[in-house]
Amino acid sequence: MTTQPNNEATYRKPKPLITIVIAGAFLAAVILWVLSYWLRESVLPPASPQITNQAKDLPQSGRKWFSDFKNSPSISDGSKKFRDIAGYFNLNGLTVSQFVKTQYAAANKGDKDAAFNIYRAESICSRSTDAQRTLNLLPIETEKLILDSTKSYIKDAQPVCADLNISPKERLDYLRIAAKAGLAEAAIGFAIENPEGLNFSPEIQIDYSDPNVIQWQKDVVDYLTQPATQGNTKALGWLATMYEGGRLIPRNLQMALTYNLARAQILNENPNDNPVTASMLQNLPPDQVNAAEAAATALVNACCKQN
């Protein structure tokens, strides 16, 4: 796979003025993320620890990755749901630690749904930590809705996370199990988590020449392609966006158009109603448009149309 050029070291220290400017832009992005997260279906925030690739590193039955029960009671409000990339997640009145233990046996046997449940549950606590960090960065004049939403999420997460000695490595390993098994939401989460769980920040740049990052890029495409070729419109949309933007993988407008057209066919939508798709249909060379249309039709015929 061709990687994106990056001549800077993985870690760099910008000059003071540049740091201020970049930090300001980063803060603005953080504010937008907080608002979008609690107002609509959104993406998961990146985590900091590393993702491991080897099966031998996956948690084994009986291995303690988090704290014991410590006689923790169940949470009285069993109806409380936490919003994440897959919709709303309900712990059914349990703490995160208690819930994870109900999923462990199945997840360790390769059950993709149980593995994704562990990731989603433990991400409640990870997001709470990120929300607290975000709250500390927000300026005084931040909109009340953002502040209230952030504080509300932290308050809701505190009782369910109180007995969890969170292991980000475990959280991301189980995400990989689910993504590798073809679960679309897990594949999207894997892409959002960033290579090796590395945070994007003013002080940290991703080195796209790093072999681990190159492998992560390949895994992202592989994990998303599996549900996409089965007709999952979320995966198709993500692949189209990635190929159109060229952020995680080399830019390829023909591939982006292919996935956008396939998604439109499955949803029975007019592709010209999507400004990005309409622009590519109009501006790409005719041979690329024809190739994209043929590939999209072949994908849809293979996955989604009855003979």
Same domain, 35 and 182: yes
Task: Please count the CA atoms within 13 angstroms of the CA of 110 that sit on its side-chain side.
Answer: 4
CA dist., res. 227 & res. 182, Å (int): 6
Specify if 1 maps to a domain.
Answer: no
Same domain, 144 and 254: no
Q: Where do we find the tokens 């690329």? A: 288
CA dist., res. 208 & res. 9, Å (int): 10
DSSP letters spanning 60-125: PTT---S---TTPPPPS-TT-EEEETTEEEE-TT--HHHHHHHHHHHHHTT-HHHHHHHHHHHHHH
Task: Report which of 35, 37, 44 is spatially closest to residue 145, judged by C-alpha positions.
Answer: 35
Specify if 8 maps to a domain.
Answer: no
CA dist., res. 203 & res. 10, Å (int): 9
- One pLDDT digit (tens) per residue for the chain, 307 residues: 434 434 333 333 334 433 333 344 434 444 333 333 333 333 333 332 222 333 334 444 434 455 444 556 666 565 678 988 888 999 988 999 999 999 999 999 999 999 999 999 999 998 898 888 888 888 877 788 888 888 889 999 998 998 887 777 888 899 999 999 999 999 999 988 866 555 555 455 667 787 878 888 899 999 999 999 999 999 999 999 999 988 778 899 999 999 999 999 999 999 999 999 999 999 999 999 999 999 999 999 999 875 4
Residue 198, strand partner residues: none
Same domain, 24 and 73: yes
Same domain, 73 and 120: yes
Same domain, 185 and 249: no
Same domain, 168 and 201: yes
Last residue of a domain, one of 207, 241, 256: 207
Specify if 136 maps to a domain.
Answer: yes
Q: What is the DSSP letter of 142?
A: S
Same domain, 182 and 69: yes
Number of domains in the chain: 2
Please indicate, yes or no, whether the overall pTM of this predicted structure exceeds 0.85: no
Last residue of a domain, one of 172, 207, 242: 207
Specify if 62 maps to a domain.
Answer: yes
Same domain, 190 and 279: no
Q: Which amino acid is at 201?
A: S
Last residue of a domain, one of 176, 207, 238: 207
Mutual angle of helices 286-304 and 253-267, in 10-degree steps: 40
Same domain, 233 and 190: no
Domain span at residue 280? 229-304
Specify if 135 maps to a domain.
Answer: yes
Same domain, 200 and 235: no
Specify if 220 maps to a domain.
Answer: no
Q: What is the DSSP letter of 82?
A: E
Same domain, 202 and 299: no
| Cβ atoms of residues 220 and 191 within 8 Å | yes
Same domain, 189 and 275: no
Mutual angle of helices 286-304 and 275-283, in 10-degree steps: 130
Residue ranges of E strands in 210-295: none
Q: Is 51 helix (H, G, I), strand (E, B) or coil?
A: coil
Specify if 216 maps to a domain.
Answer: no
294 Cβ contact partners less than 8 Å away, ≥ 6 residues apart = none
Specify if 112 maps to a domain.
Answer: yes
